[in-house]
Amino acid sequence: MGKKFSDQKKLIKHPKKGNTAAYTFLVDLYYDKLCDYTRNLARDDFKSEDIVQNVIVRMWQQRKKLNSNISIKNYLFKSVYNEFVDQYRKKVSLY
């Protein structure tokens, strides 16, 4: 299964077309790594998983807008970071 999506452009092209197997492959490939990265930012396991899940769901919802020329890994890590910052700003503004 993974060999089919080994090429970076294919890894983005298939989810853009609605291929759920490719999307699942992406989630399986990056979910734990993204959670580990986010734990270092948020210092909270539940918040970290929530942030990663938000990004993954949003990626699926906006899959048609994905640029085939980008690194999906960089896109996901940057998206997780931006989601963390957004949630942090909302939390700070409440106080």
Q: How confident is the model at residue 5 (pLDDT cuts 50, 70, 90)?
A: low
pLDDT tops 70 at residue 87? yes
The Cα 19–Cα 86 span in angstroms is: 29
Q: How far apart are CA 50 and CA 36, in angstroms?
A: 12
User: Rounded to an integer, what distance in angstroms lies between the CA atom of residue 27 and that of residue 24?
Assistant: 5
Give the residue carrying structure tokens 């539940």: 46
**Mean pLDDT (whole number) for 70-83:** 94
- The whole-chain average pLDDT of the chain stands at 89
3 compared with 44, residue with greater pLDDT: 44
pLDDT(55) > 70 = yes
Report CA dihedral (11, 13, 15, 19) to the nearest 10 degrees: -100
Residues 23-52 pLDDT 10s: 999 999 999 999 999 999 999 999 999 999
